[in-house]
Structure formats: C-alpha cells, structure tokens
Structure 1
Amino acid sequence: MNLADFTTFRLGGPAQDLTVAKSRDELLAFCREHPLGLSTRDEPDVLFIGGGSNLLVADAGFDGHVCVVATTGTTLTELSDTETRVTAEAGENWDEFVAQTLEKGLSGLEALSGIPGSVGATPIQNVGAYGTEVGELITSVEVFDRIAGQVRELSAVELEFGYRTSALKRAQQRSGTAQFLVLSVTFELQRSRASLPVRYAQLASALDVEIGDTVSADLVRSTVIDLRASKGMVLDSNDHDSWSAGSFFTNPIVDSPEELPAEAPRYPVTDPLSGATIAGLTKTSAAWLIEHAGFTKGFHIGEGRASLSTKHTLALTNRGQAATDDVLELARAVVAGVEEKFGIVLEPEPTFIACSL
C-alpha cells in the first residue's frame, strides 16, 4: 500500500508494514511492540500517521513500521458555569472535533476551523490560524513515552509551546523520530456562543468588525472556512490547490525589524500561554516574501507537475501527477529565491519522511 493514500499531498511510496490502530489498546500495543531505544536504533524506526496533512513522504516510501492513529472519542468535564474541559483521542478528525465543540455551545477553537488533520497532531506543531494557536487552549496532553515505555501526562507548561513548535516537536527533531506519541489532548473552552476576540486583520475585515470585537463563534467558523477555501486550503478532491500540506513555509521571525524590507508586513510575536508580546521579536509574512521574490501564484518548474497554488503562494501543490521529488525541487527554488532577494531563509512547515530539502 502506498503512503500517498494517507497524506493530503497524495504523495509517498510504499509502506512495507502498516497497522491501523482504531483503539487505545491497539495503539499502545503497537508502541510497546516497537519501542524507541538503543536496541532499535540500527533498525528502521516507525512512522505514525494521523490525518497526514503535514507529511511529505519520499517516492521510495518508508522501510519501517507504519501506524495509522485512528483512535476516536471525546469526553467533557464541566469546570464551572462558564468553563468546560474537553479531552479528545488523538485520531479524532480535527475539523469535526472543532464543529462538535461549537455544537455543544463551547467557544475557543472557531478560528481553527477547516484545518485538515487529526487532534493528536495539533500540539506537536502548535497549530495556529487567524490569530489563535492551540497552545492557548490546551491544558495537558497524554502521551506514550517510547523511551520510558510508559504513559505520561504533560502540562501546558511542560509542552513549552512556541510559534509552530513545542517540546514534542523539538524532541522529535533531536532524535529523528517520535519519542512521544500523543494519545489524547485536553482543552479548556468557554461555555459561550460568542467567539474569542477577533485578532486577525483579514478575518476582522471579512466579518466587518474591529480587531478585538467578538461575534458569533459559528459565524467565525463559517467565515474562516470560506477564507481557507478561497486559498485552496480546505480539502477538496476536485481542487488540486488543496492537494498540499497547507502552508509549506512558516512565517519567519527575526530578531530585529531592520532585517526586513521597509514595506514587508510586521506582526508581534506572542507567548501562546500568556498572550504577552515577546519583546525584540518580529514576525513577517512568508507569502509576501515569496511573492516579492518573483514567485507568482501557479509558479512551476519544468512540466509543472508541482506548482505553487493558483490561489495562494504559500502552498506547494500536487497538480495530479507529481512526485515528491517535484515538490522538493520547487521548494528548493523558492527557498533559494527568497534568500537571494531578502537574505531570509524560509523554514519548511511539513515533516519530511525519508527525504529532505
């Protein structure tokens, strides 16, 4: 079976050994059968797949054991008249989970609507969009520590959330594989039909409100989905602009605004837990840098099997016949062009499996 069947890029070669874990017991059994330790370091490690929305897998596939995390289930705990704690199993579909919370009269996740993938992937990347990051709302994450061989609960403080990163992601980057497998994620949400204050200018404009205003959480959800769809970032089998991993590059953060072109967008960098602005850091737009380095919507190399989205320059897309190497070639061209023009090195957002830039 090809791993292309399990990724939103629809790319990736064969899996030699694939398990679909539909229950917590099946998932833990797989983890215990394939521990991460000195005895296994000379063998191919395992690949865990949730929604496959943040993976770029090599054309040659993956030689090790593959586990598709398909666990489901949610539980609610009322903390007060205004606050509710919600725990979701890692394999829950993210957007369906967001919709469920709104149906139950809970707000907080509405700006994160329409994002493909699974609940378990969100804390690893500290997924964010339209002014909200999951790190602001997560209270704890239950994980299986593949080195210690035991289940652990990590608090929000221990998760050390940052912009598109966390302690989970950094541990994975250090070891080259997942040390901590997410089992479930717990969020603290408000019992309210009103949204969080709107923080993102494009969203505020679409809603015709001011930054800081609140509106119906359901209205924010529908507006965000419309905005994402206009950029090809809502999954649609008939729209090749959505055959991607979403935003391929993170928005760069610089130590000094003087490093940026005078006309480049500038945004504050905030702590996802406290919401406080981090002094001395400035975030800019990767899409702006790409466009002003001369890469237009639909830009491609050669036969164009892979191209920038025709709707949004931040997404690299499979036009239907692409190979992973086509996407990598395109990504390298964009990175080189932006660095040559602005001296800023773009960082990829997807996780690369058996391939690299």
Structure 2
Amino acid sequence: MLLSDSTTLRLGGPAAAFVAATTDTQLLEALTAAERPILLLAGGSNLVVADEGFPGTVVQVATRGIERDGDALHVAAGEPWDALVAHTVGEGLAGIEALSGIPGSVGATPIQNVGAYGQEVSDTIMSVRAFDRTTAETVDLAPEDCGFTYRSSAFKRDPERYAVLRVSFALHASRSSRPIRYAELARALGVEVGETAPLLAVREAVLQLRRSKGMVLDANDPDTTSAGSFFTNPILDATAFAALRERAGENVPGFPEPDGRVKTSAAWLIDHAGFTKGYGNPAGIAISTKHVLALTNRGAGTTAELVALAQEIARGVEATFGVALHPEPVFVGHAWDPIAA
C-alpha cells in the first residue's frame, strides 16, 4: 500500500504491512502483535512520509463512536475531526466551533494540541484514554498529564509511548459560541473580540476564512494538497524578540504569551524573507498560492522536494531574521535536519 493514498500531501512510499483497526480491541491487538516499527495512521493530515515509505506496520485507526454525557462528549480516536465539530454545533455544544474545517481525526488533536482562531483542543479536553505501550496498560490521562503546550503535548514529545483510544471533551450547552478571541474571526463575524456569536455563524465564518487560505480539503483545489501550516509560529523570549525587531523593524507581529515570551508570525517572517505565495515548482512542490505557511504538492512532487523547499525557507528566514523555524507535521521514515536547515 502506498502511503501517498492516505496522506493529505499525497506523498509517501509503500508500507511493509498494513492493518485496519475498527475497534479498540483490534487496535490493541495490532499494537501488541504487529511487526515493529509501528506507525499509527488516521486522517494522514499531519504526516510527511518519506518517498521510501515505512519499513514496518501501518496501523490505521478507524474506530468510531460518539457518546454524550450531559455537556461532555466521549469520542473514539478514529472519528473525523470536522464531522465532530459539525456535530457539536448541531447539538448546541460550544467550545470547539472555531476549530472547524481542520482535517484529520479526533485522536490526533490532543497529540498536536490542535488550535486555530483563538481556540485549542486543550481548552476543552477533560481526559484522554490511551494505551501505554511501555506498560501494556490502558490509562485515562487528565489534562495536566497530557503536557499540553503550543502545538505539542506529551504524546508528540514521546511518540512511541501512547496510542490515543478516546478523547473526552467538556463542552458548554449553548447556541452561542465561546467568546471570540481572534481579531480576524471577530471582524468576519462583525463582533468585537470577547463577544460571542451564534455557533453556526462561527463555524461558517471559520470555514470561509480557511477556504480563502486553501486550508479546507478540496480535490479541485491544489492549494489544499498540503499538511496545513508547515511551520509553527516562533515563540521568543523578550531579548530574542527585541533583537528580531532590531532586524525586522517595528512592524513585525508580536503577541505576548502568559509566561512573558512573545509569539511572532511564521507567515510574516517567511513572506518578508522573500518566499512569496506560489514560490517553488508549479508542477511539483510549491508554497500555496493562498497562504505562505502551506507547502503544497501540485501533482508531481516528492517528499525529498518538499523537505528541500522547507529547508530552503527555514535557512532563508534564519539568515534574514535570526529566527529558527520548526516544522509542525510529523516526519515519518526520515527526520527534519536542523543542520541542513
């Protein structure tokens, strides 16, 4: 099986073996019996798989199920994420409406601590049920055990340990959204930051914003053949951010973090380092024509070409601004080389 058939980048060579698990029992059996190494695969929206493929067993997480307990939802890891968001909006449950349109599975969201438009899944996660591969036990992890940080978690930092089975969300019964935190979304809705809006209106506004940036999967739009935002926004200490402003000027974006550090915009840095929309190979790998944070496969690309472009961008940003960029997707069968970048 070619893994390019199961990733949103449409890149990746063959898997040595492939197992589909539609129940937790099948998933646990596969994790204990399959030949190593093992790759867990669901939506494939956050993977950069090597052209050579994966030398072990790919276990597809295809479990399904949504259980409601009051304002809480207990959701199987294999459920499609955006379908869950649509379900919560339909049920009048607020808390993840601004995360509409994000591809992938429910089980992947705590791993990446998925976030967009002012919301992160860690805002609403009440527990994660996972299989601990080091002890062969099923555990229920509280949020503080998940080690959530910006676009990361204990699951991402130690990818060989846990397999997510179920995610439980604490939501809020309301036809109005949680307070809007993101200025661009507030403008699209015609409200002030901190105000609320109808759930469905928030979902539709987010989907429209994401479509305008090529961030909603569409088979007819090559700008969506990507892994979403390829680089995370750098978070700098005060000294490093002051140095950045010395080099880049006062217009460089800065968003204060609770710990005193400052988050800046990877997209701004990329664009102002000379890597504009569409940069690259129009028949292979190129920056999206809609958003400089997305690297796209225009049809004839390879993973090697993708990584080469990503490294070129990272080198250019560091040379221009002295800021290191870090990729957001997970690399499979190869690694991000910070020296090359």
TM-score after normalising by structure 2: 0.95
The unaligned stretches of length 5 or more in structure 1 are: 35-42, 79-83, 173-177, 270-276
- The letter of the residue matching 2:21 is A
- The letter of the residue matching 2:323 is I
How far, CA to CA, are the matches of 2:322 and 2:86 in structure 1?
A: 41
For each residue in 1:99-147, what CA deviation from the matched residue of structure 2 results, as whole angstroms up to 9, or x when unmatched? 1111111011100000000000000110000000000100100000011
Q: Secondary structure at the match of 2:87?
A: helix
Aligned residue pairs, count:
330
Is 1:113 equivalent to 2:107 in the alignment? Answer: no
Report what 1:48 is aligned to: 40
Task: Please state how far the C-alpha of 1:356 moved relative to its aligned partner.
Answer: 2.5
Q: Secondary structure at the match of 2:206?
A: helix
Report what 2:322 is aligned to: 343
Is 1:215 equivalent to 2:231 in the alignment? Answer: no
User: Conserved in 1, the CA contact under 8 Å of 2:283 and 2:299?
Assistant: no
Report what 1:8 is aligned to: 8
Task: Please state how far the C-alpha of 1:167 moved relative to its aligned partner.
Answer: 1.2
Correspondence for 2:180 among 198, 201, 210:
198
User: Conserved in 1, the CA contact under 8 Å of 2:295 and 2:306?
Assistant: yes
Which shifted more, 339-348 or 259-268?
A: 259-268
What does 1:66-215 align with in structure 2 at a 5 Å threshold?
66-78=58-70, 84-172=71-159, 178-215=160-197
User: Conserved in 1, the CA contact under 8 Å of 2:244 and 2:322?
Assistant: no
- The letter of the residue matching 1:85 is A
For each residue in 1:243-281, what CA deviation from the matched residue of structure 2 results, as whole angstroms up to 9, or x when unmatched? 000000000000113132221111122xxxxxxx22x21
Task: Please state how far the C-alpha of 1:323 moved relative to its aligned partner.
Answer: 0.7
Report what 2:309 is aligned to: 330
User: Conserved in 2, the CA contact under 8 Å of 1:21 and 1:71?
Assistant: yes
Report what 2:230 is aligned to: 248
How far, CA to CA, are the matches of 1:27 and 1:168 in structure 2?
A: 17
User: Conserved in 2, the CA contact under 8 Å of 1:328 and 1:356?
Assistant: no
What does 1:232-271 align with in structure 2 at a 5 Å threshold?
232-256=214-238, 257-261=241-245, 262-269=250-257
The unaligned stretches of length 5 or more in structure 2 are: 337-341
Correspondence for 2:54 among 59, 62, 72:
62
Is 1:298 equivalent to 2:278 in the alignment? Answer: yes
Correspondence for 1:231 among 213, 217, 230:
213
Task: Please state how far the C-alpha of 1:304 moved relative to its aligned partner.
Answer: 4.8
How far, CA to CA, are the matches of 2:161 and 2:144 in structure 1?
A: 18
Q: Percent identity?
A: 52
User: Conserved in 1, the CA contact under 8 Å of 2:224 and 2:296?
Assistant: yes
For each residue in 1:206-237, what CA deviation from the matched residue of structure 2 results, as whole angstroms up to 9, or x when unmatched? 11111101010110000000000000010011
TM-score after normalising by structure 1: 0.91
Q: Secondary structure at the match of 1:151?
A: strand
How far, CA to CA, are the matches of 1:259 and 1:111 in structure 2?
A: 33
Task: Please state how far the C-alpha of 1:16 moved relative to its aligned partner.
Answer: 1.3
- The letter of the residue matching 1:282 is V
User: Conserved in 1, the CA contact under 8 Å of 2:31 and 2:38?
Assistant: no
User: Conserved in 2, the CA contact under 8 Å of 1:85 and 1:188?
Assistant: yes
Report what 2:298 is aligned to: 319
Q: Secondary structure at the match of 2:37?
A: coil
RMSD across aligned C-alpha pairs, in angstroms? 1.1
- The letter of the residue matching 1:114 is G
